Structure 1
Amino acid sequence: MTKENKKVVDLLNEIIEMEISGVVRYLHYALMVKGPNRIPIVKWFHEQANEGYQHASMMGEKVTALGGHPTLRVSPVPETKTHKVLDILKESLEFEQAALAKYKAVLKHCGDDVALEELIRSMVRMETEHIEEVVKMLDTTH
């Protein structure tokens, strides 16, 4: 494995750890939401958990394609014991922003691997869209 591939594999493994923690995080959020708007919010959190699994799987496939070994670690998921929807959404926003930063870090190491670059750019687009959606959900002025 080249030095550059090693760096990419390390970053992708960090992303896997983060995405798997997102599965745990979003499942927990879905279970904790209460109140009259519960159903659509729970549905959205379940979708986010499923997407985290899919993202982790895609990154794991790329790790093995690059000759690496996918991590078994999971990033810690803090328990804030705050389960109000707006608080959960703020936590979600921070999490999505951190994930976006990780994906952007990989872009710097794609070199001439167009497939890797396009994969990561698509992930940057999705994470950006998640952030935009959460920001809209946090807007209580309307």
Structure 2
Amino acid sequence: MANALQQAQPSNDEFSIDLAAIRERARQHIKDGAVTDSYGANRETVLKLLNESLATEIVCTLRYKRHYFMAKGIHAEPVAAEFLEHAGDEQRHADMLAERIVQLGGEPNFSPDGLLSRSHSQYVEGNTLNDMIRENLIAERIAIDSYREIIQYLGDRDSTSRRIFETILEQEEEHADDMADFLDHDDGAKN
């Protein structure tokens, strides 16, 4: 009976690809590399967002590295180890973003000139271990919110860049959770 119902209703799941048209379009504008006619986003806007995010990840890498080396005190060892791990993650994020910029025909901006003005987060050194944890948590929260907005903007117009940002966002949320745990532990020790 179910089989008869399936045959009676037209299928909306039909899908076909015009391979001849796709093959022809692939031969046109070949120098555009990965950017084809079906790319739905404004490439210049996406490149700007990617370069701002690249600057953000570089600033976060530098801040975490400084905090790793400057962490002092009886509770510093596990926190410093987390800072170092996060610095490596942030560098990998920067590399992913730079690679995507090149795929889209842009140039990753690694110039130290204007790095802070391009970055979403700030570079705050912090004087104490608690200050360092707080500043890293604040920076992670800034990255989380700005990357969520970028993901919303990208939507289905650039699914590859969106997935990169989703991957990075997932790790930034883990980093924020790690920093919040250290902050809770530290605040609990003071009470």
| TM superposition score normalised by structure 2 | 0.66
Distance 1:79 1:109 in 2: 30
Q: Which residue of structure 1 aligns with residue 163 of structure 2?
A: 118
Identical residues among aligned pairs (%) = 26
Deviations 1:81-133 (A, max 9, x none): x4211111111111111112232232112434332222211211111121122
Q: 1:129 to 1:8 in 2, by over 3 A?
A: same
Q: Which residue of structure 2 aligns with residue 131 of structure 1?
A: 176
Which runs of no fewer than 5 residues in structure 2 stay unpaired? Answer: 1-34
The 8 Å contact of residues 110 and 117 in structure 1, kept in 2 or not, is answered as yes
The one-letter amino acid paired with 2:68 is: A
Q: 1:135 aligns to what SS in structure 2?
A: helix
Deviations 1:17-71 (A, max 9, x none): 1111111111111111111122211111111111111110000000111111101
Q: 2:135 aligns to what SS in structure 1?
A: helix
Q: Which residue of structure 2 aligns with residue 68 of structure 1?
A: 106
Distance 1:14 1:31 in 2: 26
Distance 1:104 1:87 in 2: 26
Greater Cα shift, 110-119 or 18-27: 110-119
Distance 1:123 1:92 in 2: 16
Greater Cα shift, 100-109 or 10-19: 100-109
The one-letter amino acid paired with 1:17 is: A
Q: How far is the alpha carbon of 1:79 from its aligned partner?
A: 4.7
The one-letter amino acid paired with 1:85 is: L
Greater Cα shift, 91-100 or 108-117: 108-117
Task: Select the structure of larger CA radius of gyration.
Answer: 2
Distance 2:124 2:149 in 1: 27
Number of residue pairs aligned between Structure 1 and Structure 2: 141
Q: CA RMSD in A?
A: 2.1
The 8 Å contact of residues 7 and 109 in structure 1, kept in 2 or not, is answered as no
Q: Which residue of structure 2 aligns with residue 109 of structure 1?
A: 154
Greater Cα shift, 34-43 or 52-61: 34-43
Which structure exhibits the higher relative contact order, with contacts defined as CA atoms closer than 8 Å and separated by 6 or more residues?
Answer: 1
Which runs of no fewer than 5 residues in structure 1 stay unpaired? Answer: none
Distance 1:32 1:135 in 2: 19
